[in-house]
């Protein structure tokens, strides 16, 4: 069968059109023009409600949300921020952008933070960003406990984890701040966009001002009047606001989230069960307590050479399935050694070893079962082909 474009997205719900048409007719695209009920304001209220958080601030991207989170924590210049060695390049970039220094922590072959390395490095940092990379959740109980004991603020990069839960709690609500992405390859697609959530009124007041609520525009964030008074004119304006058009695209997708999460999990587990039949493929299990919300699958090639990895990727691609091995290209933005913009970039042997064998395949949540089966068949045939060549 012909496999679909794995970057194809679900259609934006029909309800978005009337609202976008209204915005186009009125030209009311800036979030702070309307006296009340601007689409961005409504999105913030709806998202905070969905997550059970007190406050939400919608911005231009998850990277912007991470940057503003660090700025709103009012860390000193050159503060050290612990991040996983397996994340997207935007994360160390946001740290540097916020005048802080990224400290990289080892990640194990189950894609989760190595807790020994985390505990060893925690005393040297002033903040932590945990990236739930591709939705994989590290041991959040241990991380929270260590951060709380050390008095170090915890930011969750939940860009790709919307809908995941940890012991029943929503990912993104466990730390002081949670940040999410609405970029097209995430669970809710606005092309671009991000949002941060927190229960800390003072912190969100600073973030709102810095996101570009200049003059008294913060008065349109209804719940925060007392927190703001002391912050007026005290913070730079970075102008990272969200447009009403983006909010109009996002809002009608929120009611579809639970269904997308369920479909994504079922699809992932279906493909994982098939792939696990190969002795050369291992799909790491979730940690106890984690209920995933995947729109992709990651697995490790086991007992193979670099040449066999390359053959596997080529054979799968020739049969219509694009596999990325995180560490096997010169430009992958999730391989830490490609973050050459970091001063004194360290070596992380464990993380490197994982990245050289860890494969990434998108599984858009709307794929039907026969397509998922066909994808698994291509991957299984490709790994058989690649490993038989070794025997020959
Ligand atoms: C997508 C992603 C980001 C960046 O999100 P943007 O909205 O594109 O800035 C950051 N971290 C992780 C883990 C991601 O998956």
Out of 83, 90, 92, mutate this one to test ligand 1's pocket (max ligand atoms within 8 Å of CB): namely 90
Q: What pLDDT is recorded for position 227?
A: 87
Q: What pLDDT is recorded for position 329?
A: 87
Residue ranges, CATH 3.90.1150.10, the chain? 256-391
Q: What pLDDT is recorded for position 389?
A: 62
> In the structure, which protein residues have their CB atom closer than 6 angstroms to any atom of ligand 1?
61-63, 87-88, 90-91, 131, 133, 157, 159-160, 181, 183, 194
CATH number at 256-391 = 3.90.1150.10
Q: State which ligand 1 atom lies nearest to the alpha carbon of 131.
A: 13
Mean pLDDT, consecutive 10-residue stretches, the chain (392 aa), reads 83 96 98 97 98 98 98 97 98 98 98 98 98 97 98 98 98 98 97 98 96 94 84 95 98 98 98 97 96 97 97 97 94 96 96 98 95 97 88 50
Q: What pLDDT is recorded for position 224?
A: 78
Residue 166, strand partner residues = 169, 290
pTM check: above 0.95: yes
Q: State which ligand 1 atom lies nearest to the alpha carbon of 181.
A: 7
The Å distance, Cα 1 to ligand 1 centre, comes to: 32
- Closest to 56 in 3D by CA, of 211, 261, 276, 187: 211
Out of 62, 93, 191, 362, mutate this one to test ligand 1's pocket (max ligand atoms within 8 Å of CB): namely 62
Q: What pLDDT is recorded for position 8?
A: 82
Q: What pLDDT is recorded for position 3?
A: 87
Q: Whose CA is nearest to atom 10 of ligand 1?
A: 159
Q: What pLDDT is recorded for position 83?
A: 98
Q: State which ligand 1 atom lies nearest to the alpha carbon of 133.
A: 13
The Å distance, Cα 200 to ligand 1 centre, comes to: 23
Residue 130, strand partner residues = 156
Residue ranges, CATH 3.40.640.10, the chain? 15-254
Angstrom distance (rounded) from CA 209 to CA 287: 38
Q: State which ligand 1 atom lies nearest to the alpha carbon of 185.
A: 1
Q: What pLDDT is recorded for position 225?
A: 85
Q: How many CB atoms lie within 10 A of CB 18?
A: 11
CATH number at 15-254 = 3.40.640.10
Written as six digits, the tokens of 147 are: 């951060």
CA distances from residue 112 to 5, 128, 324, 346 in whole angstroms, order as listed = 29, 15, 19, 19
């Amino acid at each position: 069968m012909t496999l679909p474009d794995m970057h194809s997205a679900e259609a934006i719900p029909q309800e978005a059109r009337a609202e976008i048409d209204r915005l186009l007719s009125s030209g009311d695209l800036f979030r702070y023009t309307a006296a009340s009920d601007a689409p961005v304001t409504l999105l913030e209220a709806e998202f905070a409600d969905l997550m059970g958080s007190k406050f939400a601030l919608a911005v231009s991207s998850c990277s912007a949300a991470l940057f503003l989170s660090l700025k709103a924590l009012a860390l000193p210049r050159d503060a050290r921020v612990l991040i996983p060695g397996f994340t997207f390049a935007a994360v160390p970039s946001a740290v540097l952008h916020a005048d802080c220094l990224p400290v990289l922590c080892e990640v194990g072959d189950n894609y989760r933070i190595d807790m020994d390395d985390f505990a060893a490095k925690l005393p040297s940092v002033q903040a932590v960003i945990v990236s739930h990379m591709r939705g994989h959740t590290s041991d959040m109980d241990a991380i929270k406990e260590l951060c709380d004991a050390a008095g170090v603020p915890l930011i969750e990069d939940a860009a790709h984890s919307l809908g995941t839960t940890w012991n029943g709690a929503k990912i993104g609500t466990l730390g002081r701040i949670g940040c999410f992405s609405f970029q097209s390859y995430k669970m809710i697609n606005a092309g671009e966009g991000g949002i941060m959530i927190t229960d800390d009124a003072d912190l969100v007041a600073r973030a709102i001002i810095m996101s570009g609520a200049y003059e008294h525009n913060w008065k349109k964030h209804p719940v925060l009047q007392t927190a703001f008074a002391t912050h007026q004119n005290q913070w730079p304006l970075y102008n990272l606001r969200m447009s009403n058009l983006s909010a109009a695209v996002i809002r009608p997708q929120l009611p579809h989230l639970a269904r997308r999460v369920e479909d994504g999990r079922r699809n992932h587990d279906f493909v994982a069960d098939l792939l696990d039949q190969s002795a050369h493929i291992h799909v790491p299990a979730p940690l106890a307590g984690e209920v995933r919300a995947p729109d992709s699958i990651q697995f490790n090639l086991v007992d193979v050479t670099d040449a066999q990895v390359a053959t596997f990727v080529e054979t799968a691609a020739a049969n219509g399935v694009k596999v990325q091995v995180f560490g096997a290209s010169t430009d992958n933005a999730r391989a830490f050694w490609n973050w050459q913009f970091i001063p004194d970039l360290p070596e992380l042997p464990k993380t490197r070893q994982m990245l050289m064998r860890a494969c990434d395949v998108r599984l858009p949540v709307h794929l039907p079962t026969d397509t998922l089966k066909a994808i698994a068949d291509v991957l299984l045939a490709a790994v058989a082909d690649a490993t038989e060549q070794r025997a020959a």
